[in-house]
């Protein structure tokens, strides 16, 4: 088999075999296929697409390119969730402890942020002392002991995806459905959970801008997971504005703590409870969806979810005292963003809000960038709010850089109108 023939076959719109896909993933991972050939192949896929079978073979070949985590020593059903990437999405920080407080096993490997989207691991590192790197044995023992662990990717999970994703990032081949689906599912399948909920974001702050594309992506990922024997659910949720109000690492931990104490913003609570209810059912600890939701709400209100969060932070070496007053984790220097317009907020470009936080230092433009954990923004006004000229729309938590740029991005991200608009957050469920 030769890579040049595989490139030509895809360039001409033909369907690749399982063997051809395995050949190219193995060859690329081991360094036998150079970046320039893989780049040509990716661009061919971009224009000619892949069918569901090819995407499935790709996901499985990437899963098999490295370690698979064996969670079988942990009793019961292990659950996982994945978001396709959004702004202000701190659901994992809330959902994990919430589910674990009800007896669900939450063994989660999370990533770091890149571009305008944040990563759970960066957020957790804003808690002084929190260790994101645990050996696999330690990770498993912690889930056995307290029902939850949230760590960075340990071991060599899906190395083909790491290499390919970096190449896609610089060859304008990220946003194509079969490549996104196989990338995400290769890591999910290697991480060992039995039940997975995928939160597929749709809107201008997301990879999928249209609902039609989001459904295609969701159905493809659910299909790939099922073929490997996983219980799969995907929900489509709107990313037409950031989730919650706070964006930036310590700021998102702060909002997660508020939510775990029953004082979270409505949209953030809604998405968390929806995902939680599916996973509570999948784990076999509840059989009625509405009752699952009630139990999850109760755990946010009565302190049990927050206590589990404290258990998690303590187990991973984090400083519990720092959580008594999470405002102390934020930069002391703040700047208000004041509205120059008046009216109802109709739309907030979440992508630009994410970029504003990134310019302040909350995210990375390249993998090597240093992230400042204490900066970001608190967006006080969201869709449906009435704003007058002179109202403070957002508070920036800053160091030195990016202040004016962030202000302009935020002011230009907002569209005003004359009527109050209601947002439908959960758009579809695919089982």
Q: Is 183 in the site for ligand URA (CB under 6 A)?
A: yes
Helix (H) or strand (E) holding 320: none
Whole-angstrom distance, CA of residue 16 vs CA of residue 30? 20
Which residues, in sequence order, are bridge partners of residue 247? Answer: 377
**Site for ligand URA (CB under 6 A): which residue of 184, 234, 235, 358?**
184
User: What residues act catalytically?
Assistant: 82, 161, 168, 183, 187
Instruction: Calculate helix-pair angle for 249-260, 266-282, nearest 10 degrees.
Output: 70
Give the sheet arrangement for strand 343-348, strand by strand.
386-387, 343-348, 414-417
Buried b (16+ CB within 10 A) or exposed e, 98-122: bbbbbebbbbbbbbbbbbbbbbbbb
Phi-psi region of 390 (alpha: psi -120 to 50; beta: other; left: phi over 0): left
Shortest approach of ligand URA to residue 198 CB, angstroms?
A: 11
Which of 168, 170, 205 minimizes the C-alpha distance to 356?
205
Instruction: Determine whether 349 is exposed, middle or buried from the number of CB atoms within 10 Å of its CB (0-12, 13-18, 19+).
Output: buried
Which residue number, 184 or 218, has a Cβ lying nearer to ligand URA? 184
Residue 66 near ligand URA by CB under 6 A? no
Based on the shown chain and the rule CB under 6 A, indicate whether residue 200 belongs to the binding site for ligand URA: no
Closer of 191 and 249 to ligand URA (Cβ) = 191
| Strand positions, DSSP E, 144-242 | 148-152, 195-202, 231-238
Cβ of 332: how many Cβ atoms within 10 Å? 9
Of residues 158 through 177, those in contact with ligand URA by CB under 6 A are 165, 174
Q: How far is the CB of 264 from ligand URA (least distance, A)?
A: 25
Count of residues near ligand URA by CB under 6 A = 8
Q: Is 363 in the site for ligand URA (CB under 6 A)?
A: no
Question: In terms of CB distance, is 84 or 283 closer to ligand URA?
Answer: 84
**Interacting residues of 2 by C-beta distance below 8 A, sequence separation 6+:** none
Q: b/e string for 172-191 if b means 16 or more Cβ within 10 A? A: ebbebbbbbbbbbbbbbbbb
> Of 37 and 182, which has the nearer Cβ to ligand URA?
182
Positions in 82-121 near ligand URA (CB under 6 A): 84-85
Q: Does 354 bind ligand URA (CB under 6 A)?
A: no
The least distance separating ligand URA from the CB of residue 168, rounded to whole angstroms, comes to: 7
CA distance 63 to 98: 29
Q: Give me the least distance between CB of 17 and ligand URA, in Å please.
A: 23
Smallest separation (angstroms) from ligand URA to the CB of 333: 33
For ligand URA, which is the closer residue by CB, 162 or 295? 162
Q: Does 409 participate in binding ligand URA (rule CB under 6 A)?
A: no
Establish if 186 lies at the interface with ligand URA (CB under 6 A).
Answer: no
When the beta carbons of 84 and 349 are compared against ligand URA, the nearer one is 84
* Nearest residue (CB) to ligand URA, 206 versus 280: 206
Give me the least distance between CB of 158 and ligand URA, in Å please: 9
Residue from 180, 269, 356, 393 in contact with ligand URA (CB under 6 A): 180
Q: Which residue is nearest to ligand URA (CB)?
A: 183
Q: Least distance from C-beta 164 to ligand URA, angstroms?
A: 9
- Eight-class DSSP state of 323: G
Which spans of this chain sit near ligand URA (rule: CB under 6 A)? 84-85, 165, 174, 179-180, 183-184
């Amino acid at each position: 088999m030769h890579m040049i023939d595989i490139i030509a076959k895809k360039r001409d719109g033909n369907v690749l075999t399982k063997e051809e896909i395995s050949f190219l993933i193995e060859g690329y991972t081991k360094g036998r296929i150079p970046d320039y050939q893989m780049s040509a192949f990716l661009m061919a896929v971009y224009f000619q697409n892949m069918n569901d079978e090819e995407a499935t073979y790709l996901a499985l070949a990437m899963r098999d390119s490295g370690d698979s985590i064996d969670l079988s020593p942990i009793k019961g059903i292990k659950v996982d969730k994945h978001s396709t990437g959004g702004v202000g999405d701190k659901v994992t920080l809330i959902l994990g402890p919430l589910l674990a407080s009800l007896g669900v096993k939450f063994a989660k490997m999370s990533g770091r942020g890149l571009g305008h989207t944040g990563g759970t691991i960066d957020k957790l590192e804003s808690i002084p002392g929190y260790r994101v790197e645990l050996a696999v044995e330690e990770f498993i023992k912690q889930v056995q002991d307290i029902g939850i662990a949230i760590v960075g990717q340990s071991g060599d999970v899906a190395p083909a995806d790491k290499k390919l994703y970096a190449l896609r990032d610089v060859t304008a081949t990220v946003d194509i459905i079969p490549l996104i689906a196989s990338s995400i599912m290769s890591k999910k399948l290697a991480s060992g959970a039995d039940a997975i909920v995928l939160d597929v974001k749709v809107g201008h702050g997301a990879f999928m801008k249209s609902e039609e594309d989001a459904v295609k992506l969701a159905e493809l990922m659910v299909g790939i997971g099922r073929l490997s024997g996983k219980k799969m659910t995907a929900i489509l949720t709107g990313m037409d504005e950031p989730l919650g109000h706070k964006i930036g690492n310590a700021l998102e931990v702060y909002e997660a703590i508020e939510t775990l104490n029953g004082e979270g913003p409505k949209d953030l609570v809604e998405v968390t409870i929806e995902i939680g209810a599916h996973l509570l059912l999948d784990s076999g600890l509840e059989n009625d969806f509405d009752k699952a939701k009630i139990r999850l709400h109760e755990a946010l209100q009565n302190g049990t979810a927050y206590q589990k969060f404290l258990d998690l932070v303590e187990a991973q070496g984090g400083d519990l005292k720092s959580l008594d007053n999470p405002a102390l984790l934020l930069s002391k220097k703040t700047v208000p963003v004041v509205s120059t317009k008046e009216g109802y907020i109709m739309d907030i470009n979440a992508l630009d809000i994410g970029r504003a936080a990134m310019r302040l230092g909350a995210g990375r433009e390249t993998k090597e960038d240093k992230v400042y954990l204490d900066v970001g923004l608190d967006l006080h006004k969201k869709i449906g709010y009435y704003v007058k000229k002179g109202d403070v729309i957002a508070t920036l938590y800053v160091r030195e850089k990016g202040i004016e740029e962030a202000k302009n991005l935020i002011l230009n991200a907002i569209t005003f109108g004359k009527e109050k608009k209601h947002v439908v957050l959960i758009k579809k469920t695919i089982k």
